[in-house]
Chains A and B, each alone.
Chain A
Amino acid sequence: MIQYLIRRILYAVPLLVGVNIITFVLFFVVNSPDDMARMHLGQKHVTAEAIAKWKHERGYDLPLFKNNQLEGISQFTETIFYQKSVGLFLFRFGRADNGEDIGANISQRMWPSLAIAAPSLLVGLLVHISLALMLVFFRMTYVEFWGVALCVALMSISSMFYIIGGQFIMGKLLQLTPISGYDLGMNALKFLILPVIISVIAGIGSGVRWYRTLFLEEVEKDYVRTARAKGLSETYVLFTHVLKNAMIPILTGVVVVLPLLFIGSLITESFFSIPGLGSYTIDAISKQDFAIVRAMVFLGSALYILGLLLTDISYTLVDPRVRLN
């Protein structure tokens, strides 16, 4: 087991290096720091001094890979690649354009993101799985046909309409919850209700359909038929046999996204003006703050890779048939 874990972790290292190289190429090679400076300072009438100053403030005035002016190891450390890219491995994200420390911002803003994303995931799982089980229970009837048809229709609605519609109905017409905003501590609760409900509803279409196919795959297997032949009731078969075995793909699918809960959702957070990482990223994109976007790209990838790692581990825990080589 330990050996397997070490091998999986070692496998994650080249992935992280790959992501790091991609972000570096995207942000520093395809566009030189000069281009970024010019974009920020306005296209025309930019003096060379202004560009040099902009680059110096951000530490972009170093050579990309090799600093020929220095000797020894600092030939390689005093470069953009080392300063800006390798630092990401140690979660040294540097400073944003307005001088704030990105790392501090991230660690502060990930909690609101988590507060939205975690309940959405849990409630969503519960609701979607129960609905899918219901469809499977009523299979080959009109309930199933119209349920699936409804799912397809719900799937065809853009998530933005769910948010706008939900805000309009719940927040404006019925005035049950605040339309948007966020607060500290327990006061945050009333701001969380609407986003969670909406994200659960928005996910019904694809979620229920997906879980239904998982259940249907199990239902057709031999052991289920045997269980039914022994005279077990349909409900008993569904809940103890089918649900239990379908939990393997469901759980591993959930484990992948667990670390990504910290990143939050771009759209939900910006629509509900929640000060999480999603809205942080959106602000950075609209302000064209390259440092923040770079940090978020790396962080998101690192968390996804962590998710893959956790998936592998959870497979071995949940499914005894999986061997560790």
Chain B
Amino acid sequence: MIFFWTDTLFFLLLLMLAAAIFRARSKEHLRRPWRKVARSTSAMVSLTVLVFYFGFAILDSIHFHPPEGQGGEGKFKTEAMSLLDWWASPLRQRSEKTYSAPFASHGYARENSRGTDGVSHWAYPRLQFGGAHLADPEKGKFIDILQTGFAGLLDGFLAWLVFAALLIVARSRSGSITFSQCAYDIAEGRTEVPWRAVLLTLLLILLTSFGLGELSLTYHVFGTDKVGEDVFFQSLKSIRTGLLIGTLTTFITLPLALTLGILAGYYRGWVDDIIQYIYTTLNSIPGVLLIAASMLLMQAYMARHEDEFASLALRADFRLLFLCMILGLTSWTGLCRLLRAETLKLREMEYVQAARTLGVHQGTILLRHIMPNVFHLVIISVALDFSSLVLAEAVLSYVNIGVDPTTESWGNMINSARLEMAREPIVWWSLSAAFVFMFALVLAANLFADAVRDAFDPRRAE
């Protein structure tokens, strides 16, 4: 096992999330808003999608050194490998020479090849892997795609049946109703949590992923990029980058915004002045420019300490972490201002005044009386910021101040693909793949964030 910095922090974050959920389970007032989220159909559908994405990110965050002989060839030999790399080895290792369209069996550009008869042809070469099992791709390809795809869909459906059965068994056990009654309830949509919608989303996800997975064993379902790498594999790898940028940033924003915001609101006076000054100053520097400046400086730092970043992976990992930190530094000010305003209100409330007159220690007031009552703002802001951070990653990669060019990310995919729009025929598949993957994630995140805001914002409560 190898732990990169981002891996460790990501798992730490997941652990903290699990701890928070465990704590919230036993407290009725904490459960109430989440129950409201769980009743919302759009929230649960998006949560299903998000969990699916997180699953890939977790798979891609468990790194290890490949055992001898299984690590793949050439440049991959000494590099660390993630569970996803290992699982998707067929996708990772089968790279073509250059571009090829989705489901293509022949290359993108003509080239000179010498046939068996010794005469050279100017033709589209057969791909090394894509559709290589077909004797005559012209005839058999369509049927083969249908057959393989159908087999994949069937697998997906079976997997879904297992999930659905597990869910129904679990529900009928806890609710002590019969299996068929429970299944009937779900199918009719009469459950409190919209399980029917969740199961339908799951069915859709499983069908597409199994179908694509089965097909990707014999074809490049999203084509290949300039150096012949499978675009489907790249998109899967990019999930981790996007999610890390969206989540690890909270390690910087939350501590800063919480401590400074509460302190400024509670103590007022010169503490407030200084903190307000700090965040107004930081806020007045345009975010992209501050990030650009910091990334330039980080490159200079890495150049100076070259021996500390021996491997390419370490370097890329450090850059990803640094980007998260810088994004955090530029995005905590909004939350801090909200928290300050809320604390200003709370400190005049009777219960806080009562605590103060009873001589409760100030630290205790801040931690036990103020913080829990501003935390809904934190949850809302984290949920709302997530999608904008994922989108920001793509933009920053385009400006070359995003993640390392060797890290797979949607931004890098767009960046390398956009120049190919001028080609004839157009290389559209990298862009489309990045678009589909990003859109699904960001849409799910946006819908979920809206539901969270509706549930937690007291002004929107019924």
Q: Is the Cβ of A14 less than 8 Å from the Cβ of B277?
A: yes
Kindly identify which residue among A152, A155, A300 contacts B289, using a CB–CB cutoff of 8 Å.
Answer: A300
Q: Is the Cβ of B293 less than 8 Å from the Cβ of A294?
A: yes
Chain A positions within 8 Å of B293 at CB level: 23, 26-27, 293-294, 297
| B382-403 interface (Cβ within 8 A of A) | 387, 391, 394-395, 398-401
Given contacts A23-B293, A30-B297, A160-B414, contact A43 B284 (CB under 8 A): no
Given contacts A18-B277, A267-B398, A286-B400, contact A293 B285 (CB under 8 A): no
Given contacts A286-B400, A301-B286, contact A158 B438 (CB under 8 A): yes
Q: Is the Cβ of B421 less than 8 Å from the Cβ of A301?
A: no
Kindly identify which residue among A14, A39, A266, A308 contacts B288, using a CB–CB cutoff of 8 Å.
Answer: A266
> What is the chain B residue whose CB lies nearest that of A36?
B300
The verdict on B303 contacting chain A, using a C-beta distance below 8 Å, is yes
A73–B445 alpha-carbon span in the complex (Å) = 58
A36–B297 alpha-carbon span in the complex (Å) = 9
Given contacts A152-B443, A161-B435, A266-B288, contact A31 B300 (CB under 8 A): yes
A278–B286 alpha-carbon span in the complex (Å) = 12
| A275-309 interface (Cβ within 8 A of B) | 281-282, 285-286, 288, 290, 293-294, 296-297, 300-301, 304-305, 308
The verdict on B442 contacting chain A, using a C-beta distance below 8 Å, is yes
The verdict on A38 contacting chain B, using a C-beta distance below 8 Å, is yes
Q: Is the Cβ of A160 less than 8 Å from the Cβ of B418?
A: yes
Interface residue count on the B side (C-beta < 8 Å):
45
A300–B450 alpha-carbon span in the complex (Å) = 32
Question: How many A-B contacts if CB must be within 8 Å?
Answer: 126
The verdict on B217 contacting chain A, using a C-beta distance below 8 Å, is no
| 1/0 contact string of B425-442 vs chain A (CB within 8 Å) | 000000100010011001
> What is the chain A residue whose CB lies nearest that of B414?
A160
Cβ of A198 to closest chain B Cβ, rounded Å? 14
Cβ of B154 to closest chain A Cβ, rounded Å? 31
| B260-288 interface (Cβ within 8 A of A) | 277-278, 280-286, 288
Cβ of A311 to closest chain B Cβ, rounded Å? 12
Chain B positions within 8 Å of A15 at CB level: 277, 280-281, 284
A236–B443 alpha-carbon span in the complex (Å) = 36
> What is the chain A residue whose CB lies nearest that of B282?
A22
Cβ of A76 to closest chain B Cβ, rounded Å? 24
> What is the chain A residue whose CB lies nearest that of B441?
A156
Chain B positions within 8 Å of A172 at CB level: 421
A18–B398 alpha-carbon span in the complex (Å) = 30
Q: Is the Cβ of A285 less than 8 Å from the Cβ of B401?
A: yes
The verdict on A90 contacting chain B, using a C-beta distance below 8 Å, is no
A35–B298 alpha-carbon span in the complex (Å) = 11
The verdict on A143 contacting chain B, using a C-beta distance below 8 Å, is no
Chain B positions within 8 Å of A293 at CB level: 289, 292-293, 296
| 1/0 contact string of A239-280 vs chain B (CB within 8 Å) | 000000000000000000000100100110010000000000
Chain B positions within 8 Å of A38 at CB level: 303-304
Q: Is the Cβ of A158 less than 8 Å from the Cβ of B394?
A: yes
> What is the chain B residue whose CB lies nearest that of A263?
B286
A135–B285 alpha-carbon span in the complex (Å) = 35
Q: Is the Cβ of A22 less than 8 Å from the Cβ of B292?
A: no
Chain A positions within 8 Å of B292 at CB level: 281, 285, 293
Is the contact region of chain B dominated by helix, strand, or loop, or is it mixed? helix
Q: Is the Cβ of B391 less than 8 Å from the Cβ of A158?
A: yes
The verdict on B290 contacting chain A, using a C-beta distance below 8 Å, is yes
Given contacts A156-B387, A159-B395, A267-B398, contact A297 B286 (CB under 8 A): yes
Chain A positions within 8 Å of B231 at CB level: none
Chain B positions within 8 Å of A159 at CB level: 391, 395
The verdict on A85 contacting chain B, using a C-beta distance below 8 Å, is no
| 1/0 contact string of A145-185 vs chain B (CB within 8 Å) | 00000001101111111001001100010000000000000
Chain A positions within 8 Å of B142 at CB level: none
A270–B401 alpha-carbon span in the complex (Å) = 14
A157–B431 alpha-carbon span in the complex (Å) = 12
Cβ of B452 to closest chain A Cβ, rounded Å? 14
Chain B positions within 8 Å of A260 at CB level: 286
Q: Is the Cβ of A35 less than 8 Å from the Cβ of B300?
A: yes
The verdict on B208 contacting chain A, using a C-beta distance below 8 Å, is no
A183–B300 alpha-carbon span in the complex (Å) = 37
| B293-351 interface (Cβ within 8 A of A) | 293-294, 296-297, 299-301, 303-304, 306
Given contacts A152-B446, A281-B289, A300-B289, contact A39 B281 (CB under 8 A): no
> What is the chain B residue whose CB lies nearest that of A20?
B281
Given contacts A155-B446, A156-B387, contact A19 B399 (CB under 8 A): no
Q: Is the Cβ of B277 less than 8 Å from the Cβ of A296?
A: no
Q: Is the Cβ of A164 less than 8 Å from the Cβ of B418?
A: yes
| A1-57 interface (Cβ within 8 A of B) | 14-15, 18-19, 22-23, 26-27, 30-31, 35-36, 38-39, 43
Given contacts A26-B294, A266-B399, A293-B293, contact A35 B281 (CB under 8 A): no
Among B282, B285, B445, B446: residue with most chain A CB under 10 A: B285
A270–B299 alpha-carbon span in the complex (Å) = 23
Kindly identify which residue among B304, B387, B435, B447 contacts A35, using a CB–CB cutoff of 8 Å.
Answer: B304
Kindly identify which residue among B286, B394, B401, B443 contacts A160, using a CB–CB cutoff of 8 Å.
Answer: B394
Kindly identify which residue among B284, B300, B446 contacts A308, using a CB–CB cutoff of 8 Å.
Answer: B284
Q: Is the Cβ of B296 less than 8 Å from the Cβ of A288?
A: yes
Q: Is the Cβ of B450 less than 8 Å from the Cβ of A152?
A: yes
Chain A positions within 8 Å of B447 at CB level: 152
Q: Is the Cβ of B285 less than 8 Å from the Cβ of A168?
A: no
Chain A positions within 8 Å of B450 at CB level: 152
Given contacts A31-B300, A39-B299, A43-B306, contact A297 B446 (CB under 8 A): no
> What is the chain B residue whose CB lies nearest that of A305?
B284
Chain A positions within 8 Å of B277 at CB level: 14-15, 18
Among B281, B283, B431: residue with most chain A CB under 10 A: B281
A-B pairs with the 8 shortest C-beta distances?
Answer: A18-B281, A300-B286, A156-B443, A156-B442, A304-B284, A31-B300, A297-B289, A301-B284
Q: Identify the B interface with A (CB < 8 A).
A: 277-278, 280-286, 288-290, 292-294, 296-297, 299-301, 303-304, 306, 387, 391, 394-395, 398-401, 410, 414, 418, 421, 431, 435, 438-439, 442-443, 445-447, 450
Q: List 24 A-B contacts (CB under 8 A).
A: A14-B277, A18-B277, A22-B282, A22-B285, A35-B300, A156-B387, A156-B439, A157-B442, A158-B391, A158-B438, A160-B414, A164-B418, A168-B421, A281-B292, A288-B296, A290-B296, A297-B285, A297-B293, A300-B286, A301-B285, A304-B283, A304-B284, A304-B285, A308-B280
Besides A288-B296, A304-B286, 6 more A-B contacts (Cβ < 8 Å) are: A22-B281, A155-B387, A155-B442, A158-B394, A270-B398, A297-B290
